[in-house]
Structure 1
């Protein structure tokens, strides 16, 4: 229950349906760790069950089968991509009529070995044969996992949903700058995301170093689980005064409010909540041109997408945004995001799949 795409999406969806008495959700956490989001889940009053399933643990497999059969669920939804295979098969054996596998990543996230590849193939086949619906938050994800998915009505793309009013701001939050020791006149670049190779922090620090060496009024804020572990690298690059490593924050929306630009050069994504949040705030951005991001962008914003490893172009584009000042993108970005990712639209699509 640490913050991530799946955990955040589900939390927001549960908040969206919390007053709907026609649906009774249960949440199974496949871990014993309560995590940073536990209290936010707990306050919803929804039954939470902590139980690891593992990859192939017979004791846990029997527990899961007994759990879903005893509870007589109408629907079971698993968010673990191909690793939903065994739970989908067990739910089928237990007589659950609606079995949903929801893919929320752009590709496999493990080091390939022969045995892992074989296991991955087997559980993906179980997803395909045992699920009644296979969802994803991007076309790119389905293209990777299930080429030719468009031929089957079982597949559906449901983009992320958010309460857009939580991220609709007109004024900068300058108190955050005071808290962090950032000058009011500084140009602040923000990134939100856990420390993970896929988030591409190494490239971000290279870009930060070039920008800061050329303009000392530029500051970077990194917020996300374990980002404080970058401190030694930041120190060795000599940019510690202009780089703030905040680790996990509950007030990311306030961090966005104090920023001038959002930088998001991920190497792989399912669909990035962080980038969508920045768009809802009307922040100009520079983001990677990977397929899951390209497919959600209007033509008017495509020029702000770059090769995630292109340091020079990232630096150049960020300087261009800084120099424009009145870039005129706030309205375009906000209006697009508010319409495209509205919870009333996107969560309703997911809700309809659950009660199918």
Structure 2
């Protein structure tokens, strides 16, 4: 009988975010006849959506290192690697790359899935130094690969593997899509004739929702048909800001939702206002939902949108983070339904790049390259 290759997927936390979803998809499409995966979480148990699906649906063991001192986490992880007879450790978080130092002789894959210099500002210099130690890295955009090379990581030690995405909406007939849109708007109290501008995310420095509001305020002062939709758990400071701008009658705030993808079809335009991103999953979800796009020039935004061509991307990517220029682009989109339709017509070219079968081939090439010869 063929011996399976044990691969430990190490992640900092198992919450409800995009990185966790990508881990779930990786494990879902991984060849279980060849690989025996185990997930190790360096933090405490959170009972999240993705933990439940990984454990109960995919039947992949999930082990938490728990709330113990960092040095003990390293010791416990080294013991788990030995106990499980792991051949490969795949660090799914940049913050867990430092566990490389307790895995001598093990094929170790480091990751970077968000802006490196934001990570540098959030972790101590020692952890940052050791998080750059792995001999091999997987990143989800060319932008992040370039960031690693600036830190001295050779390009030949980096593989760019895009996020996986399973599209739901783009194959839906236009008439059914319009019906879904109308139902969602009626349910949320959004005028049927409004041009709805949606955003997703918590109020963090990276998401920069104040920039979203400032751009929306300026554009909506010139076009009263524009309506705002913020999806997710938006905190009090943003709610207060909306009231200060006297925009409370022009916005719907959904609160925390299980899946933004179920709400995005209500929107005409999706505005990514982030100051920092890796490969923004929300942008891909919005494209699938049929939204036209306005996005700041961060992370992998250009890589996502480049199949549309420069004639289109030049009109929808905000490169200067200035409110006047961003609001001009938003007004252009709101007042030009034919241009919005042109973006929609090109979305399959975009989504094809994130097809799970294609992405898993890239992952498999990496795993096969690193697998011990006697286990191939």
- TM-score band by shorter chain is 0.7 to 0.9
Query: What secondary structure does 1:185 align onto?
Result: coil
- Corresponding position of 1:76: 89
Matched, 1:41 2:54: yes
Rounded Cα–Cα distance in structure 2 between residues aligned with 1:27 and 1:226: 30
Alignment size in residue pairs: 344
Return the match for 1:104 from 87, 99, 113.
113
Return the match for 1:318 from 319, 330, 333.
330
Q: What RMSD, in angstroms, separates the aligned Cα atoms of the two structures? A: 2.6
Residue 2 of structure 1, CA deviation: 2.5
Rounded Cα–Cα distance in structure 2 between residues aligned with 1:149 and 1:296: 26
Matched, 1:306 2:318: yes
- Corresponding position of 2:101: 89
Query: What secondary structure does 2:79 align onto?
Result: helix
TM-score (structure 1 length as normaliser) = 0.87
Query: What secondary structure does 1:108 align onto?
Result: helix
Rounded Cα–Cα distance in structure 1 between residues aligned with 2:260 and 2:96: 30
Deviations 1:82-127 (A, max 9, x none): x3343112122xx42x2111110122335759x9335422x14532
- Corresponding position of 2:241: 233
Alignment of 1:1-356 (within 5 A): 1-17=14-30, 20-32=32-44, 33-44=46-57, 45-52=59-66, 57-81=70-94, 83-92=95-104, 95-96=105-106, 98-109=107-118, 112=121, 116-121=124-129, 123-127=130-134, 131=135, 133-147=136-150, 151-165=154-168, 168-169=171-172, 170=174, 171-172=177-178, 173=180, 174-227=182-235, 230-298=238-306, 299-300=309-310, 301-303=312-314, 304-307=316-319, 309-327=321-339, 328-356=341-369
1:282–1:333: 8 Å Cα contact kept in structure 2? no
Rounded Cα–Cα distance in structure 2 between residues aligned with 1:148 and 1:57: 25
Distance 1:326 1:283, change over 3 A: same
Rounded Cα–Cα distance in structure 2 between residues aligned with 1:168 and 1:20: 30
Residue 165 of structure 1, CA deviation: 4.1
Query: What secondary structure does 1:354 align onto?
Result: helix
- Corresponding position of 2:7: none
Stretches of structure 2 that go unaligned for 5 or more consecutive residues are: 1-13, 370-376
1:223–1:246: 8 Å Cα contact kept in structure 2? yes
Residue 286 of structure 1, CA deviation: 0.6
1:194–1:224: 8 Å Cα contact kept in structure 2? yes
Query: What secondary structure does 2:118 align onto?
Result: coil
1:204–1:265: 8 Å Cα contact kept in structure 2? yes
Rounded Cα–Cα distance in structure 2 between residues aligned with 1:215 and 1:302: 23
